[in-house]
Amino acid sequence: MKYQSKTNDWRTIMFKENDFITGFRWALLISIPLWLLFFGWLKWLAS
């Protein structure tokens, strides 16, 4: 039973890490178009 609890702990840790990684990927995907808009706005101001 001790081994089973250890595997469960490991699985929950992996799941939490995966959640963090997917959240980070979504943040990058959302921020890329925002950065493109921001730089486009700067170029428009500079011109």
Can you give the pTM of this predicted structure?
0.45
- Residue 13, both tokens: 């840790």
pLDDT at 5: 61
Q: Which domain holds residue 10?
A: 1-47
pLDDT at 24: 87
pLDDT at 7: 63
Count: domains in the chain = 1
Residue 21 is given by DSSP the state H
What distance in Å separates the CA atoms of residue 38 and residue 45, rounded to the nearest whole number?
11
pLDDT at 41: 96
What distance in Å separates the CA atoms of residue 42 and residue 34, rounded to the nearest whole number?
12
pLDDT digit string (tens) for the chain, length 47 residues: 555 566 667 667 666 777 888 888 889 999 999 999 999 999 999 99
